[in-house]
Amino acid sequence: MAVDIEKTLSTVESGEDRHSSGRESPILESIGGVRTNRTNRTRSRSRHSATSSRFNNDDYTWNLERAATATVETEIERAAREPITYTRSGASMSSVASRPPEYEVYFEDNDPDNPLNWSLLYRAWTIGVVSFATWLAVLYSTSYTAFIPGLMEEFDASETVATLGVTTYLLGLAVGSLVLAPLSEVYGRQPVYIVCMTVWTILIIPCAIGPSLTTLIVVRFFGALFGAVMISNTPGTVVDISNPEYLSLGISIYSIAPLNGPVLGPLIGGFIFQYKGWRWTNWVSLIIAGATIFAILSLRETYPPAILKKKAARLRKEKDDPRYWCQYDQKISTLSLLKINMSRPFVLAATEPILWFMNFWISLIYGILYLCFVAYPIVFTQYRGWGYGLSGLSFLGIGCGILIAISFEPVIRRFICSQPRDPVTGKVLPEAAALIMGLGAILTSIGQLGFSWTCLPTHIHWIAPIIFGIPFGAGNTLCFIYGNNYLAGSYSIYAASALASNAVFRSIVGGTLPLAGPKMYETLSPQWAGTLLGLLEVICIPIPFVFWRYGGKIRAKSRVIQQLQNELDEMERKRARNDERRARRARREAENAERRASDDDLSTDDETDSEDGASERRESVPHSVEEKKEATATVKNE
């Protein structure tokens, strides 16, 4: 996860369609990653440049913040919204409040409202809670696979039909990430978490008492629709409360639970199903979800725009002064946000060659990962005779691989930062992440083929296929994480749209491919079916290396990226004009202040001279009768 978001905007090797502007492109502030620590009004007015400087020194954290946003709306579109004006009317007055700089509401140093100033213990608790909630939403998707045999027996359904519960859940996650996740910008993260998590929890009940398989399949879709909020928005919460220098550590710690959710689902669900039945798998999830809601209620709002808007509203009310405002006081149309979120990811997916190949490759890897939740029970339960709970332990190899990949994040980050940099901006190019993607593709293929060739016959020790789960899990983790970073680095302010596009397509493939798993493994045998999937992954290995070698030229010919560069150029010109106006205003204020100080000095000197003259005149006036007579005599003599 270590590529800067601006690399896309730098000079690339292309002598055909594009030429560098010879300067660094501006850094745009992510909606999900606002940093507003400022100590005075001058720093408030220069927020943008200060933020740019920070991210120039830390490419890695900026890319993390960009990838964590839940809305695909760009900074340009957000800035173009209509600002809210506050009107105060009365018997003698009716005025519309302006936006004077001295009444701007922002985070002061050591401001207790700023999430970055909360205690370390409370921030750690916040990360733990949102990570656990995300883990539960992901775990619920795969725990279903553990009790598919119970569904088949009770409802007399085929394995393919019973597997539809996995498909609908993943499709619900895809739709929910587009429809509900962006609402955090309108209402803040905390209200969205509470509402969506509560609805998700309630929808577990019909799955536990469902009288038919159709009920489970349909209700799981709507449950995932709301559960997607936890998966889409919680990385933004980590960004909100993490200091830049520790952001990568916070993201890594947060990722441990969600990335292991798919692995632990069959393990936990298998033991519950084996000893209590499939309905109790849902009841246990319901109990844990209820406890999670109470934990979420202990959290505070972390989204800086929501906090600042609430603070500005409070000051307007307390001081009865409508002039207090913040930079996020803008009219937000929910329908407008939904329109952008529902259209742009698909437009990019249809027009961008980078997304054609990335969506295909990542979706294939994701689909094969979810096929494992069909293949492992077949191998270890049907062929090796393990129980449902014990067969869940076979996924521990994949879990270990995920943890190993996460633990190597600092090493990988240093490696990426050591790669060649753009000669104009001095920043690491997005293609540096493609090297790690290539490593992930190789490890994934090795793990898949190794499992296929050692899972059967049964005289091969059971530890062999489990060990091959380690490179498989590590490779999947590297592909997902650094694939997202490559897309974020390539599409800059359109990163959220590109990532949403990738998430939708991989969820569709990950949900539908397991439907073919039972029949495929039955017809071809686990060895040949797994070998076929492994060879597909081998065929796709060149994709990340092509991006590594030719990614700059591909990006240079991208119509969207060229349009993005033009928009950024226009924003930079606008920012330069604003900086120039601010500089002129500052010079005028300084000249006026100097002039007033000079006038005050002259006025003080005049008063001093007047006082001195009056004192001399008083001293020259005779006071006694003798002095008056002497003065009269002197005049007569003269």
pLDDT digits (tens, 9 = 90+) for 451-473: 999 999 999 999 999 999 999 99
Distance CA 118, CA 246 (A): 15
Q: Which of 28-42, 312-326, 567-581, 614-628 has the highest mean pLDDT?
A: 312-326
What pLDDT, on the 0 to 100 scale, is given for residue 21? 34
In the chain, the percentage of residues whose pLDDT exceeds 70 is 77
C-alpha distances out from residue 631 to 240, 618, 621, 635, Å: 88, 15, 10, 6
C-alpha radius of gyration, the chain, whole number: 33
What would the pLDDT profile of 98-149 be if each residue is shown by its tens digit?
578 888 888 888 899 999 999 999 999 999 999 999 999 999 999 999 999 9
Of the options 3.40.50.920, 3.40.50.2300, 1.20.120.160, 1.20.1250.20, the CATH number for the domain spanning 1-8+344-576: 1.20.1250.20
DSSP 484-552: HHHHHHHHGGGHHHHHHHHHHHHHHHHHHHHHHHHHHHHHHHHHHHHHHHHHHHHHTTHHHHHHHHHHH
Distance CA 62, CA 52 (A): 10
CA 327-332-334 angle, to 5 degrees, is 150
C-alpha distances out from residue 203 to 166, 184, 262, Å: 15, 21, 20
Which amino acid is located at 385 in the chain? G
Q: How confident is the model at residue 80 (pLDDT cuts 50, 70, 90)?
A: low
50: pLDDT strictly greater than 60? no
Q: What is the 3-state secondary structure of 57-68?
A: HCHHHHHHHHHH
Looking at 88-102, 385-399, 594-608, which range is the least confident one?
A: 88-102
Looking at 56-70, 461-475, 482-496, which range is the least confident one?
A: 56-70
Give 316's contacts (C-beta < 8 A, 6+ positions apart): 86, 322, 323, 324
Structure tokens at 253: 């710690």
- How does DSSP classify residue 380? I
Q: How far apart are the first and last CA of the chain?
A: 104
Q: Which residues pair with 104 in a beta bridge?
A: 325
Looking at 5-19, 141-155, 257-271, 280-294, which range is the least confident one?
A: 5-19
524: pLDDT strictly greater than 90? yes
Looking at 9-18, 32-41, 358-367, 471-480, which range is the least confident one?
A: 9-18
What pLDDT, on the 0 to 100 scale, is given for residue 610? 60
Give 353's contacts (C-beta < 8 A, 6+ positions apart): 554, 558
Looking at 156-165, 479-488, 625-634, which range is the least confident one?
A: 625-634
Hunting for tokens 């992440």 — which residue is that?
433
Residue 97 · residue 322 · CB < 8 Å: yes
CA proximity to 482, closest of 395, 427, 415, 549: 415
What pLDDT, on the 0 to 100 scale, is given for residue 76? 58
160: pLDDT strictly greater than 80? yes
What pLDDT, on the 0 to 100 scale, is given for residue 635? 52
Angle between helices 47-57 and 59-68 (to 10 degrees): 110
What pLDDT, on the 0 to 100 scale, is given for residue 268? 95
Residue 411 · residue 1 · CB < 8 Å: no
CA proximity to 270, closest of 164, 396, 147: 147
Of residues 427 and 548, more confidence is placed in 548
Alpha-carbon 364 to chain mean position: 24
Mean per-residue pLDDT of the chain = 81
Distance CA 355, CA 341 (A): 17
What pLDDT, on the 0 to 100 scale, is given for residue 23? 33
Structure tokens at 262: 């798919």
What would the pLDDT profile of 610-628 be if each residue is shown by its tens digit?
655 555 555 555 555 555 5
DSSP 571-607: HHHHHHHHHHHHHHHHHHHHHHHHHHHHHHHHHHHHH
Mean of pLDDT values over 351-363: 93
Q: Which residues pair with 333 in a beta bridge?
A: none
What pLDDT, on the 0 to 100 scale, is given for residue 619? 52
What pLDDT, on the 0 to 100 scale, is given for residue 427? 74
CA proximity to 536, closest of 520, 552, 547: 520
Mean of pLDDT values over 496-512: 89
What pLDDT, on the 0 to 100 scale, is given for residue 30? 33
Of residues 499 and 44, more confidence is placed in 499
Q: Which of 22-31, 261-270, 497-506, 620-629 has the highest mean pLDDT?
A: 261-270
Distance CA 365, CA 536 (A): 9
Q: What's the residue count for the chain?
A: 638
164: pLDDT strictly greater than 60? yes
480: pLDDT strictly greater than 90? yes
46: pLDDT strictly greater than 50? no
What would the pLDDT profile of 527-565 be if each residue is shown by its tens digit?
999 999 999 999 999 999 999 999 888 888 888 777 767
Give 295's contacts (C-beta < 8 A, 6+ positions apart): 129, 132, 133
Q: Is the dihedral of CA 451, 453, 458, 462 positive or negative?
A: negative
